[in-house]
Amino acid sequence: MKRSRIAAILPIGKLSDRVFAEGIAPAAKEMKAECIRIEPEFSSPGRLGAACQSLESADLIVADITARNANVMFLAGYTQGIGREVLFITQSGEDFPFDRSKHPPIVYGNDLAFLKAEFLAHLRGDANAGAQTPGDPRQQFLATFGDLLKKHQHEHRGEIQLENPTTYVLVNQDMDLALVQDLARRGRELGIRIKLM
């Protein structure tokens, strides 16, 4: 089914900006679809009305429910109520509160290249879209925190494990305190734990 207009509902923030700019928008562009971002900010009735109008005119709505943002969930519910197709995405499978058999999400684990590939597969009608999970924990970790490692001129040579979808374990780490603090700060923003061994 051809989707010519896609609306993405994402929480407000720099990390969501990256999800849109590096994952959702490029996939939509590749499929020659118009893609807009709707910020779930309801400071006035006019803003809520404008968001609802944008959702009503879209063929597909992508809702990032990472951390179960209440405003994103509200707009996703509205979208389902008016009968529009909704594709749920989330950084962690633990954040997904719905029946996966009826609403299979794309769990992208902060891997934006994976998100783009899975979203493209969904747009093309690939039956397996959303059935996969991101691969190598090291690649996932670097996709999310690599810029901080570069900023501190650090290369983690030890093993990186994924204890669960929201907890990374860094084995044989030798990081300085400033880097550890930066990693912890971003981890809190994303709902990700980092264990240093």
Question: Is the Cβ–Cβ distance between 37 and 130 less than 8 Å?
Answer: no
Query: Exposure of 5 by Cβ count < 10 A (0-12 exposed, 13-18 middle, 19+ buried)?
Result: middle
Position 23 scores a pLDDT of 95
- The DSSP annotation for 49-100 comes to HHHHHHHHT-SEEEEE-GGG-HHHHHHHHHHHHTT-EEEEEES-GGG--S-T
Structure-block tokens of residue 31:
């499929």
Instruction: Report which of 197, 195, 196, 187 is spatially closest to residue 92, judged by C-alpha positions.
Output: 187
For residues 155 and 146, give the distance between their C-alpha atoms in angstroms, rounded to a whole number.
Answer: 9
User: Could you give the dihedral angle defined by the CA atoms of residues 92, 95, 101 and 105, in that order, rounded to the nearest 10 degrees?
Assistant: -50
Average pLDDT of adjacent 10-residue blocks, the chain of 197 residues: 88 92 96 93 84 93 91 92 92 75 83 91 71 65 86 89 81 89 84 84
Position 9 scores a pLDDT of 97
**3-state SS, residue 49:** helix
Position 55 scores a pLDDT of 94
For residues 50 and 37, give the distance between their C-alpha atoms in angstroms, rounded to a whole number.
Answer: 12
Output DSSP code: residue 19.
I
For residues 77 and 89, give the distance between their C-alpha atoms in angstroms, rounded to a whole number.
Answer: 14
Name beta bridge partners: 5.
Answer: 34
For residues 62 and 107, give the distance between their C-alpha atoms in angstroms, rounded to a whole number.
Answer: 13
For residues 124 and 118, give the distance between their C-alpha atoms in angstroms, rounded to a whole number.
Answer: 10
Position 135 scores a pLDDT of 61
Position 132 scores a pLDDT of 44
